[in-house]
Chain A
Amino acid sequence: MKLPIFLDNHSTTPMDPRVLETMLPYFVEKFGNAASRNHAFGWAAEEAVENARKQIAKLIKADPKEIVFTSGATESDNLAIKGALEMYGEKGNHIITSATEHRAVLDTVKVLEGKGKATATYLPVDKCGMVSPEDVRNAITEKTILISVMMANNEIGTINPIKEIGKIAKEKGILFHCDATQGVGKIPVDVQDMGIDLMSFTSHKMYGPKGVGALYVRKKNPRVRIVAQIDGGGHERGMRSGTLPVPLIVGFGKACELCEQEMTKETARLIAMRDRLEASIMKALEESYLNGHPTNRLPGNLNISFAYVEGESLLMGMKDIALSSGSACTSATLEPSYVLRALGVGTELAHSSIRFGLGRFNTDDEIDYTIKKVVEIVTKLREMSPLYEMAKEGVDLKSVQWAAH
């Protein structure tokens, strides 16, 4: 076993060596511009791009023509939301989204609100982190033109009832955008069955290269149109100009193909490892609380709050394991995780959360090592914690008058 261990697979994933192999010829040998229509270099590049488009479309049950390449999921979210608002702005300007969306969606919507271009409803989630389809229905107004709800949450892994939301959107004739960054490649996605009109996803979360992503744009029932946010040569059917990064796209395609072929096996393996990690930690450490949905969540996700210890110190005590925390100290904003807060997790428990993100290349040995380390460090830090001491003495921490600072 090699240290450090990477258990942060929601942030990014290592590239699969098989993906790299397929990319390599497209740097030096087959370097053509896919938009060059008049020579062999261009044709080779175009063929490679179209092949990747097919591989990607197959994974999400779309038509290859419905795939628009972007630089990643953040750009896809921006393009979907701003592009749809600009195209359908005459019909209305109301957007429905949820409180636990990724910042790429929330900030995009907030910027549009700030400029007076849109009004928005941010739906709450239940204590497991799920959006209620009925809440979506009730939030719809005459002015609503877009519903944007994520497929699976990046912190707690909770999977939303996308199909039900898609059905409501269709019934009301409102476009449905889904940020599926964490979902595609991990769980089965079918844009037809789920009634998705626009869907953002990215390569580097599924063992492909960084720097490339896609926006699925439905072509029929209904034909969705969006206004380009980057103007230029009119690539990607006019929706996203810019020379295509052929090697990245080839890698993205291969990554999708591998996910499609191996998903069933990989999911079973990840769930077994994740459940073992969860059960062992919970058994060894009292007052550890699972954040998110107990069953309906991403196979590789485990998010736990360890009462009485602070997240950043936990990470510091496990330097040879790459993890992330919802603690304020680990965020740029100095606020604890807004996702956990939206679930109703108390601020003090949000500070105490650790996200384990398991992926394709994690092994049982690594999980054993992680269990041992987590139990060790939580025990050590609880011994050091005045809160743990007080709780053991029977003091109700909620009744204490703290001097907030």
Chain B
Amino acid sequence: MDQAVISIVIVVLFTFIVLSIGMFGWAKKMDTSAQDYFVASRTLGFAALFFTYTATYHSASAFLGTGGFLYAHGISYWAIGPYTQTIGGILLYLFGSRIWLLGKKYNYYTPGDLLGAFYESKFLKVLTGIVLAAFVIPYVQLQLAGAGWITEFVTFGAVPYVWGATGLGLVVLLYVYLGGMRSVAWTDIFMGVFMFFAIVVGGWYLTNILLGGPTQAWLTIEDRTPLQLVLPGAPGYFTLPMAFSWTVIITIGLSVAAPHVIMRMFSATSIRILKWVAVLSPIFLVWIYISYVWFGMGTRALYPGIEFPDEILPRFLFEHTPVVFAALICAGGLAAMLSTANSQLHASGALLSRDVYNTINKNAGEKQLVTVGRVAILIIFVFSAFAAIQKPPLLAMLIALATGGMAQIFPMLFGALFWPRATKAGAISGFIVGTIIMVWFELGGINLFGMMPGFWALAANTIVFVVVSYSTRPQSAHIIKKFHGFLDSEEAKNMLKL
């Protein structure tokens, strides 16, 4: 059988399985309420929550970008990625347990619900909803672009980039549109398991046949590209300050402040589930790259001067392994992309429906909120797909822009959960200053003192937040009791033990 046909069959089969599981999730819905559509009626168990968190975390950058990163910057990756994932897990519990309690008590299910209530600000709720949804677009765009590239590559050009990006995007759109959080969680279980084995096995196999195993890979790297074994790597980009700023921003942006992560905190069926997901997720998130590190760095030692290092995994799979094996591993790459796109699309629907529309139209019914959420998902998809068709060349920059932008809600979230002295004026001014600096520095390519733009945006945001909070009147006693008083209460402790 023709190789392209075999690859097309595997991609179609994978897509069909994902779509079927998504439809199954839709069929499993408990009711037609907004709560069920957006947070699965807070019933996600361990497997669903674990894989929807981890599979969403690893995106196109896991399959493509990491290869490019390791090829270009060497061991710098290992100083950033594992630390963002592990510390992120700990923050997931520290913030997540409080977010879960407040969500359960007051029926919150978006970041805006919680922030708008603590800061008593509809403006803040709408602002965070719109800004976070806007930062979702480059993230979804990245996933669709990755899906387009992989599909074109795997099918030897038989399915062009644009068809791959839009076709797979439409599949995701269909089940997210219909099934909401349940479809997202069910598909993420399948895609999470699949992507883990695909990346580990693919990297391991290539390391063995190209480099002669892990030990030989290290020796080859030491012999031919020794600069890759230390920071800042051969191009000299990842100095210690730059690596540190990436670690801070990605930890916060992807593990705590991202809207889809906060919605997963609300979705857990119990705090015990959230707790074990938080501390066990780093094992999945870090170990998935164990073999990729050998392969990614070793490839540079053997084949310097590759023009598009993001493509090394699919390219070497198709050059050095049987087509069925290569296509299956690349389907794992598609899993990484689609599992992120579905969660981000879903979160953007919740943000625009609950935080924006429901704030403007307080009397909106449950069905109306779901309908608006679906329309919002459609709109975000159209924007993202359009942007993806333009073939974005800078995957890492898109990730930096999106995570840095999402990280800007961190100070105000910290205030609502841990610091009762935080005020509305502090939160709004910090968020606006942080977002403006983020976009300004990112678009202007400004890396002050060798650190990424998101870091400076977050630093400015935090300073403004604290200074303005101390300069303005605190939130009312009623609100502090409602939030921090409740979090310290016996009632909350009993809820945690359930």
Q: Does A pair with B?
A: no
